[in-house]
Structure 1
Amino acid sequence: MASQRGLGVAVIGTGKMGADHVRRLHEVISGARVAAVADTEPERAKSLAATIDGCTAYTEPAAAMASGEVDAVLIASPGPAHEAALVDALGHDLPVLCEKPMTPDTASSLRILEAEQRLGHRRIQVGFMRRYDAEYVKLKELLDSGELGAALMLHQRHRNLAMPPGFTDEMLITSSVSHEVDATRWLLGQEIAAVTVHKPKATSLAPAGLNDPQFILLETASGALVDVEIFGHCGYGYQVQAEAVCERGTVRIGDEQGPRVSADGRWGGHVPPDYVERFEDAYDREVQAWVDATRRGEITGPSAWDGYAAAAVCEAGVASQREGGRVGVELAERPGFYA
């Protein structure tokens, strides 16, 4: 149970995302405190823990979760490490906010679904933070209202200034387009039935061997079409946009961030350099909502099923990358547990 000092959170992974969540929990979020951090790089964990009173550094997630000071877990380690951390958290019956991907493939995602169902109650929220972005929330509300009629098409663009070294074709789908996959399922309220990946001419800014950009076509169960442009080395900043084309109108988000300035014979605005800045408010809203729900004894937000469904679509996308053509999404029957 959370003490009077607030919900004691263990942050697993202290890289760029994890360190930002530590800052957020310590400086922005109310009702929570960073009780522990864990990382395979001991000095990085110790250095971060030293900035927060009462925070202990660990090298093993399981040791952090066993601490009597920890009431909940935020997983921000690399995707391949998520399954083991989730299993440990469920073993301690701790609420979890797990950054995407929940796990990198459907087999491991299904194992997590089964483990959570054996526990008998939900403990996992997956970090699809776009569901907490103000523009995405307004788009969702408008689509749900029916004011514009049924959504027929959804255009999405996801552009990065540059990708980190070692980024692969597969990661363009699993680490980037996974956000558009979840946004599609959430905005349209439908599962995705098939994926087709197209590879245009690669930009000269991409490293050798990376097919960047790529164009992904998603088909939903009801026949809506969704296209996603993923451009990992656009060279000018981080940009995420979406436009829904409906029966009686269209709605578009993500065109402009911040003020538009006209001066010295030019006009323009600021393009954020990365996701941390672009979605800062969404991350704040997401983590605050998770803390508030956890303190009430509830689990809200994207479920482990949403994490599994995204993994299934991404798996089909990777198959289309490798083999070419349209690939159907193989989705297990949704358990009533996640209704």
Structure 2
Amino acid sequence: MGDLLGVAVLGAGHMGADHIRRLDRVVSGARVVAVAEPETDRAKEATAGIDGVVVHSEPAAALDAPGVEAVLIASPGPAHEEALLEAFARGLPVLCEKPLAPDAAGALRVVEAEARLGRRLAQVGFMRRYDAEYMRLKSLLDSGRLGRPLMLHCTHRNVSSPSHFTTAMLINSSVSHEIDAARWLLDQELTAVTVLRPRASSNAPEGLLDPQFVVFETSGGTVVDVEIFVNSGFGYQVRCEAVCEDGSARIGDGHTMVVTAAGGACEEVAQDYLVRFADAYDREVQAWVDATRKGLVTGPSVWDGYAAAAVAEAGVRAQRSGARESVGLATRPELYERA
């Protein structure tokens, strides 16, 4: 076991428990040695059958546990900033689930803290960059075969929203994935956002303005639109179509099974993001483990996490104002300059 990367997982909820399972049963080269979760019974359930793991109620105790060499943060967003800073203080590499922090100010503090170290320690969990379909689309756009991208059409639908979900979370929790994906696919910054609201669905909880139509402008002149509908009632769907000068490419249609029987056809629709993006999560965590064991940090940076937070804040302002809102970004530290 000594040659395996010892990982502390912070958080044992829906996402954290899935990562604990993934590190124990799917990913090679790593093992879970500590878990921090205030509800310790939930952590014990998530770690049942895993030898040598110790459960703690406080993150700091897990970070200081024997054998911890890296950290996977899957706790609620408000806890991320403190956990990241604690990991930085210990020199521990981190994979942090999005959001990097609940707001742009907190995310920028994380950027500044890492920049002071002079080296990258953290990767942000924007897993769509590891999805096979998204990677193929990125490769196609980078090749230039379709010419310059003009528009990016995105669809993001959930079966239903949890009880704590707010209208602002449509942007800063759900559309944050499209924000990062668009920045990555296009290699452009998002510079302005407008939010249009149709009448609310009768399936949306009272007070939740769902669905919405979000339009982003980019530094390269591309327009990105996102339909966000978190109470669609029928499934989890994520689609993206790039419309370019010499053609278009769409992803998100071909990953389900179609059953034909009794004179009809039925297509499966995923009900959960952990189903739709299972392979992407596996690939993401494996890449993080492999890089960490080599002393490297790859994948989305804390700057990407900050940029997503800043764009999302402009989106929430646009929700409330009904007007076009500009995105303001701080000066990018040299540590995060593109190669």
TM-score range, shorter chain: over 0.9
- Matched letter for residue 307 of structure 1: G
**Ranges in structure 2 where 5+ consecutive residues have no aligned partner:** none
CA distance in 1, matches of 2:272, 2:80: 23
1:128 to 116, 126, 129: 126
8 Å Cα contact 1:106-1:312 kept in structure 2: yes
Scaled by the length of structure 2, what TM-score is found?
0.98
Match of 2:90 in 1: 92
- Matched letter for residue 276 of structure 2: R
CA distance in 2, matches of 1:174, 1:13: 20
**Ranges in structure 1 where 5+ consecutive residues have no aligned partner:** none
2:54 to 53, 56, 62: 56
Deviation readout 1:27-46 (Å, 9 max, x if unpaired):
00000000111111122123
8 Å Cα contact 1:36-1:49 kept in structure 2: no
Scaled by the length of structure 1, what TM-score is found?
0.98
- Matched letter for residue 44 of structure 1: R
Deviation readout 1:126-154 (Å, 9 max, x if unpaired):
00000000000000000000000000000
2:35 to 34, 37, 60: 37
- Matched letter for residue 302 of structure 1: P
List 4+ stretches of structure 1 deviating above 6 A.
none
Match of 2:17 in 1: 19
- Matched letter for residue 183 of structure 1: A
CA distance in 2, matches of 1:48, 1:149: 48
8 Å Cα contact 1:11-1:22 kept in structure 2: yes
Match of 1:138 in 2: 136
Match of 1:28 in 2: 26
Match of 2:336 in 1: 338
Map 1:231-246 → 2, pairs under 5 A: 231-246=229-244
Match of 2:252 in 1: 254
Is residue 224 from structure 1 mapped to residue 222 from structure 2 by the alignment?
Answer: yes
Match of 2:305 in 1: 307
8 Å Cα contact 2:196-2:213 kept in structure 1: yes
SS of the residue corresponding to residue 196 of structure 1 reads strand
8 Å Cα contact 2:20-2:47 kept in structure 1: no
Match of 1:7 in 2: 5
Match of 1:181 in 2: 179
Match of 1:210 in 2: 208
CA distance in 2, matches of 1:116, 1:68: 24
8 Å Cα contact 1:216-1:229 kept in structure 2: yes
SS of the residue corresponding to residue 325 of structure 1 reads coil
Q: Cα distance, 1:5 vs. partner?
A: 4.3
Q: Cα distance, 1:239 vs. partner?
A: 0.4
Q: Cα distance, 1:68 vs. partner?
A: 2.4
Deviation readout 1:247-294 (Å, 9 max, x if unpaired):
000000001323322211211221110100000000000000000000
Match of 2:155 in 1: 157
Deviation readout 1:276-328 (Å, 9 max, x if unpaired):
00000000000000000000000000000000000000000011111111000
8 Å Cα contact 2:237-2:252 kept in structure 1: yes
- Matched letter for residue 126 of structure 1: V
Q: CA RMSD in A?
A: 0.9
- Matched letter for residue 222 of structure 1: G
SS of the residue corresponding to residue 107 of structure 2 reads helix
Deviation readout 1:135-180 (Å, 9 max, x if unpaired):
0000000000000000000000000011111210011111100000
Q: Cα distance, 1:49 vs. partner?
A: 3.1
8 Å Cα contact 1:9-1:70 kept in structure 2: yes
CA distance in 1, matches of 2:255, 2:205: 29
Q: Cα distance, 1:51 vs. partner?
A: 2.7
8 Å Cα contact 1:257-1:270 kept in structure 2: no
> May I ask how many residue pairs the two structures share in their alignment?
337
CA distance in 1, matches of 2:254, 2:233: 17
Deviation readout 1:96-128 (Å, 9 max, x if unpaired):
000000011111111101111112210010000
SS of the residue corresponding to residue 10 of structure 1 reads strand
Match of 2:192 in 1: 194
- Matched letter for residue 336 of structure 2: Y
Match of 2:78 in 1: 80
2:324 to 323, 326, 337: 326
8 Å Cα contact 2:98-2:126 kept in structure 1: yes
SS of the residue corresponding to residue 166 of structure 1 reads coil
Structure 1, 45-54 or 167-176: larger mean CA deviation:
45-54
